[in-house]
Structure 1
């Protein structure tokens, strides 16, 4: 990403209040007096999404909130990957606290990103009023900022609040901050914003995305995958409405992107489509027509090994860190047919030997493979998700025929032409088939936790909590747990966490509780 610039927001440390900006930031009043620095500030917002800080240190970022961290943490909150080391132990075993690093840094960096978005919105409105930029340009930049604000608030609400399905959004939400914070007066105003309800958060998220859809171009001019456009706003609305159980809403939004046709799905907006091979969105991560929005990374902007997707997911024999393996229970699942190309192309077996014996010969995710430069972009939403979101909504509303067409579009492109596993009639349980397909298609993309939380109360397909998880001690070093011929089930030693357990959601950071008077009594119960 070229031309990175952070906006000065005037808050010194998260020990006083949620961290809002890097220390070397340019003052906002300087940024918005020149069209060139406004554009740099917009790039800076995206860079904040990619890197963020780690424990108040911007030189040691870990990919918060939408670089590597949101994807890694969302996978470790689920059961389809196995934690192999201490790096993700707290998240994997749900031993987090108001001071544990991952959940604290997610909160801090989400709200830092939100504040940069808010400062951009305020700044470009004033700049347009003074004639520095046109009203149309200001509306476009505000659209991008409101897209990122919506994305960040949704990430916060699904991690720190109960799901929308619990009481139709009546449970306590997260503070929806929609004003810039820089001066002492603005800080005081921001502190008055309470948690509200989940439903209120969703209403504001959708309002931001509606604005973004209206004001963003169909084809962003600069690196269209890494800049929010009209299609990204619509695609994100399909996800948000899926979390709300608004099936008709999902269908209405997805239809704008071409999912109501009789096949050969192509979006009339920006030409999004499924690529012929399931590995193409990852091999061509910075330039392809399936990725609707991704967060850009490069050798220069990815701060270190601990923020890179390839390092975190990759096996040791390919220069990764070997921290997380694909769960054999997903790899062996009966719904994942043997000749599926996503197994051969997007999973890789580690082949290492210690003391003359196999060592952790497990399967690892292979979507991210730039182990040298660590430049794989973080996929946020792909056309495949829009298709499966629409498929589930159609299936839930009884239109099995359209659901099957959409489901098959994703499933069939992962099968070789000679496969005998093509389906000609819908599965007996179309919804279950789609939910299983999501687990295969989005493995390693951070979609597992969002599906766990949104489905937790579903009377038919619900998880009723965080599923039981396999531990390293459950796996055999020779890799024999992975066997798609006999398909054994590996027993999970780490038991399920019920939905009623306080650990189902993350705690708010202690720094926020201690320094923000409005939230001092608003900690999630149990922490």
Structure 2
């Protein structure tokens, strides 16, 4: 059965007052509120699997937080220039100018979409944990399903934290509303601290590492993805030595199913569904030829890659040891081969996502996490943990450049030399992530915030050095949507500055 069909069936598990389910309707026609049937709908392995599919469906455009969730970071960083002006509204202009609004569809859909995924994961965990082992045909599948759901719950909370919480400061009170039980009524609970939010995320990831499958398909959560996300979480927390250890474990011990592919362009082949199963992805989002994600549609007219980003990739350089080193030579030109559905607008294409027409329009995916990022997490964490550049950290950084075509020549698009300083190295890692991951999940924006906060906002490296409109650190994170605060009788505290 196709995944899309599973999603429709899963809707039946989350409806209020429905005794039957019309499978001809789209998922977003239903209102999955507080489901009385959900208390008993998970009764065996098959129904548990269907409910779990409903968790993954939130990563898709239909009924979920994407594509806004993946695009918003690049909008704030300047990688995204906003697309065709006629389609921009006040919320878009606020995001592009780093003054987000408390009202608007995009931020609201991100916020509610992540909580929908978390709530569905909670229903799965609650329902499956009540079942006896003998109702599962496949050995260990009960614990595996719970492990997958906990990983997805961790992902949802992490996504909320980096967008709506002061994720960069573990001592901040501005974490998020962590939900570990299914919502059975409209009760609102307050936010918890950033440190407590991270603790909940790490606990779920540890449980997932212990019980989730090694690998089903790359569009299902697995142990290696949980380890990779744990490394990223630890990096964001500033626990650099631990982050380096976990990332190194993923790089060295994950086997051939989790390894860099030999060619960057191979990651974004939209002519075959096989892209979903390449070795580099730790977790990718499912979409088939009849049901695209929508990211490619948005990275067309509604969102465009900025000239600033493409020019930086094509002409940007840094001098290290008297040598001129280019940031990129292959990845940015490949991205630019994408085209728009409406020609002659003068806006850049993006081949990382499916095109509107032609052979590259058939399939697409969104990489939630891939091995290239793990290498760069390791490089940064290893350096920050010792405030020095080890040969292993340098090798990890250069491995990504070598995959992109860098050579050991004297100048140009070359590997970084051993003479690189610690400060130069950290900036090189940031720039390499910008070239490698730009427009995928917004990592370019969260890196800017982390690098700024590392030596105190307003001193040393500053976000405004890269994005001139990003001068107010209160606006580095999104506001809690006004409609959500009002619906919860102001129990959820708004972020400072909004």
Is 1:394 aligned to 2:382, yes or no? yes
Residues 295, 378 of structure 1: 8 Å contact kept? yes
Which runs of structure 2 are paired with 1:219-298 in the superposition (5 Å)? 219-220=215-216, 224-259=217-252, 267-269=253-255, 271-283=257-269, 285-298=275-288
* Residue of structure 2 equivalent to 1:264: none
* Residue of structure 2 equivalent to 1:117: 121
Secondary structure of the 1:174 match is coil
Q: How many corresponding residue pairs? A: 451
Q: How far 1:89 moved relative to its partner?
A: 2.7
* Residue of structure 2 equivalent to 1:341: 330
Q: Any gaps of 5 or more consecutive residues in structure 1?
A: 13-19, 54-63, 260-266, 315-319, 470-494
What is the CA deviation profile of residues 65-120 of structure 1, one whole-angstrom value per residue up to 9, with x for unaligned ones?
Answer: 2x422221111011233223343433212343222111111111110110000000
Is 1:77 aligned to 2:53, yes or no? no
Residues 456, 499 of structure 1: 8 Å contact kept? no
Is 1:422 aligned to 2:443, yes or no? no
Give the direction of change, closer, same or farther, for the CA distance of 1:347–1:47 in structure 2 (3 Å limit): same
What is the CA deviation profile of residues 372-411 of structure 1, one whole-angstrom value per residue up to 9, with x for unaligned ones?
Answer: 4564111110000001000111122224211111011000
Is 1:96 aligned to 2:68, yes or no? no
* Residue of structure 1 equivalent to 2:143: 139
Residues 238, 253 of structure 1: 8 Å contact kept? yes
Structure 1: how far apart are the matches of 2:380 and 2:29? 39
Which runs of structure 2 are paired with 1:453-468 in the superposition (5 Å)? 453-459=449-455, 464-465=462-463
- Among 40, 48, 57, which residue is 1:47 paired with? 57
* Residue of structure 2 equivalent to 1:209: 205
* Residue of structure 1 equivalent to 2:31: 23
Q: Any gaps of 5 or more consecutive residues in structure 2?
A: 19-27, 319-324
Residues 466, 504 of structure 1: 8 Å contact kept? no
Residues 214, 222 of structure 2: 8 Å contact kept? yes
What is the CA deviation profile of residues 450-474 of structure 1, one whole-angstrom value per residue up to 9, with x for unaligned ones?
Answer: 21232231229965345665xxxxx
Residues 15, 32 of structure 2: 8 Å contact kept? no
* Residue of structure 1 equivalent to 2:67: 68
Structure 2: how far apart are the matches of 1:351 and 1:42? 35
Q: How far 1:268 moved relative to its partner?
A: 2.9
What is the CA deviation profile of residues 416-453 of structure 1, one whole-angstrom value per residue up to 9, with x for unaligned ones?
Answer: 66976433723232211111111101111121122123
Name the TM-score, length of structure 1 as normaliser.
0.77
Residues 11, 21 of structure 1: 8 Å contact kept? no
Secondary structure of the 1:257 match is helix
Structure 2: how far apart are the matches of 1:181 and 1:526? 30
Secondary structure of the 1:380 match is strand
Q: How far 1:244 moved relative to its partner?
A: 0.8
Structure 1: how far apart are the matches of 2:58 and 2:340? 37
Structure 2: how far apart are the matches of 1:11 and 1:104? 26
Between Structure 1 and Structure 2, the one with more helix by share is 2
- Among 481, 485, 492, which residue is 1:513 paired with? 485
Which runs of structure 2 are paired with 1:177-216 in the superposition (5 Å)? 177-182=179-184, 184=185, 187-188=186-187, 191=188, 193-216=189-212
Is 1:404 aligned to 2:377, yes or no? no
Q: How far 1:503 moved relative to its partner?
A: 2.5
Give the direction of change, closer, same or farther, for the CA distance of 1:439–1:424 in structure 2 (3 Å limit): closer
Give the direction of change, closer, same or farther, for the CA distance of 1:143–1:466 in structure 2 (3 Å limit): farther
Q: How far 1:507 moved relative to its partner?
A: 1.5
Residues 225, 282 of structure 2: 8 Å contact kept? yes
Give the direction of change, closer, same or farther, for the CA distance of 1:334–1:271 in structure 2 (3 Å limit): same
